[in-house]
A and B are shown apart, each in its own frame.
Chain A
Amino acid sequence: MSNSTGGPSGIITRTYKSGSIIYFENDKSEYIYILKSGKVFLTTIKLDTGEETKEEVRQGEFFGVKSALGKYPREETAQTLGNTMVLQLTPADFERLVLKNASIVKKMLRVFSNQLRRIVKMERSVLGEGEIVNSDAELFKIGEYYYKAGITKHAQYAYKRYMEYYPDGPNAALAMKRIRAIDAGEPPPADIGGHDAAPATPPRSVDTGGDFSIEEPGGPGDMIDFDDSSDEKDHRAPAASSTALEDEMNDFLTEPASGDLDDFSLDAAVDSDSPRDLSDAGDASFAKGNYIMALELYQKVINLNRFESPEEKKLFEKAHFDSGRCYIEMGKPKEALDILSRILRNFPGSPYVKLAIYHIGLIFESVNQKDKAITYYNKVLNMSPKDKLNSEALNKIKQLQGR
């Protein structure tokens, strides 16, 4: 089927007849290929649906890179269409080749890091981990752990970081006390409870007057309707989250295509009309704490009003949720509540419903409407699949009821 000729730098040129398999899914091989002429299709089986997807490699493009570099089995089958010529490289050849051309590595690195970012995010959301952990309390716990273990140098480090990042945090006074004690060479008391010493922090409170009150999401009986529909969804919870996941897997399984590039800097994306670019840029701004910019970007996604494909639909829903988070961070609970309740009303089957409900709970909690907060946390508590968010909700309820 194929014949080989040695190329100058150890790189081999291979020619294939139409319909040949260059490699099968699950093959173990260290080779990386560049398509010179002809056509190559990569066939992948989607993890969540078992569906087959085909993607054409463009001439001059690499394929088989990730599995070769990462040393794991092929994730796709590569098949030729028409007489085809490819260059076959070992990772060492590949390294030599790309090192001469920094822009290729940079480009691939961008694609890979975006894939990784998305998949890690996806993993977090399946696990129900998100923006809800209290990093400050956790950081303090690290200090407490080492303090208790008598490794005061490490404890000191954690307390000092705590003071650096959360000088007004709920554990600041205690952290300061510990720092002084360690400085003074006092031995740690024997009876510090590693867990109890770090009370969970309340959510970032919004700046509201004492008489502040906000209305529950409007619309006739939307919570009741919503409850029913969510129960229905529960029975097929994996499917409900699979739309998002499908997209995730889909583009994860795709080898770098130059069209998929977006930049580490946002500038390029801001004027884009690709929901994915805008959303990524929004995420980057959000991560940097630039909520105004992030909100603007998420609003752009919403205003594009595109939700035909599963990916667009997911991004459209996500933009609603993320806008809500921006408003929360900006101390605008009414706006946050408004947009989050739109998720419940308009996208009852969305994977963002549960997160939205949890955040509505946070909003009510932040304006001291305990009972309402508990109502919403309760809803989260009863939703499937049971994940970390359920237990967070339970903690919240216990906390609020204990006060």
Chain B
Amino acid sequence: MALDEKFFDKFGVEYSPNEIIFCEWEPGNEFYFIQSGNVRIVKLIQNREKNLSVLTDGDVFGEMAILEEQPRSATAIALDHVKLLKFHRDNFDTLMSGNPQLAYKLLVIFSKRIYDAKRRLMILLLEEPQIRVMDVLVMLAEQDPHLDLQNEISLQVTAQDVARWAGLTEDDAQKELTHLNRTDKIEIFGDKIVVKKIREFQRLVASRRKSMYQ
């Protein structure tokens, strides 16, 4: 999707490789559209820098700033020479009226974000820590269309990640994972977890969710 040149004159910003665009916890009022280049999104977790994703031409980031005045939840760093369009929240309405393409792009992003947020909430609504942990693994499995859920699967995830999604302390999450490990349902490696029968987890979570309604 090409936005015209004079647009870049007005909203364009450029970053050189390895330059910070914005940093986790700083107040955020702008969102960005990538014209060209790659942007790395990272977050400090347990005092370690963790890569969340790499975004490229046509991607939008920092869009939560449109919705609320929360500090940035992650850091954006230019990976190479990056050209961006930078829009302030206050211009949002005008901007959207003049650029239905950009609006459409955001519509698609928000559709996805809404689902993802809802899916995470579904985990948090479960009462038992054990089931929550299972559902985190189920969610991660669902998110990867390349996985064959009939067989053993391998998920790129650490115990800290699981704790975060499950809304548990790390100790509690670790305890549940250890239990699953001991009962031979999963195998834990440093940065990945192998699940033997994810379908079994799926069924169990589904039935627990159902019984919540009784």
Contacts and interface: CB of A to CB of B under 8 A. Distances in A.
Interface of A: 47-51, 65-67, 69-72, 75, 95, 98-103, 105-106, 108-109, 112-113, 115-117, 119-123, 126-127, 135, 138-139, 141-142, 145, 149, 153-154, 157-158, 161, 165, 194-195, 238, 242, 245, 249, 252, 264-265, 283, 287-289, 387, 391
A145 B112 CA distance: 32
Contact of B117 (A49, A67, A99, A123): A123
Nearest to A135: B71
B64 to A, nearest CB: 8
A123 B20 CA distance: 28
A322 to B, nearest CB: 14
Interface in B84-132: 92-93, 96-98, 100-101, 103-104, 106-108, 110-115, 117-118, 120-122, 124-125, 127
Contacts of A195: 47
A105 B111 contact: no
Given A99-B101, A142-B23, A119 B68 contact: no
Contacts of B47: 145, 194-195
A264 B25 contact: no
Q: Would you call the interface of chain A mostly helix, strand, loop, or mixed?
A: helix
Contact of A287 (B18, B69, B106, B213): B69
Contacts of B23: 139, 142, 154, 157-158, 161
Given A47-B122, A139-B23, A142-B23, 8 more contacts: A47-B121, A50-B214, A105-B96, A106-B103, A141-B25, A141-B44, A158-B20, A288-B69
Counting chain B residues whose Cβ lies within 8 A of the other chain, the interface size class is 35 or more
Contacts of A145: 44, 47, 49
A47 B122 CA distance: 7
B100 A115 contact: no
Interface in B1-55: 18-20, 23-27, 44, 47, 49
A109 B110 contact: yes
B182 interface: no
B93 A139 contact: no
B125 A99 contact: no
Given A50-B213, A72-B115, A135-B27, A387 B167 contact: yes
Contacts of B110: 109, 112-113, 115-116
A135 B25 contact: yes
B111 A65 contact: yes
Contacts of B111: 65-67, 69-70, 112
B124 A123 contact: yes
Contacts of A105: 96, 100, 103-104, 107
A240 B100 CA distance: 42
Nearest to B93: A264
A181 B92 CA distance: 40
A72 B213 CA distance: 24
Contacts of B69: 287-289
Contacts of B100: 98-102, 105
B107 A109 contact: yes
B109 to A, nearest CB: 9
A98 B104 contact: yes
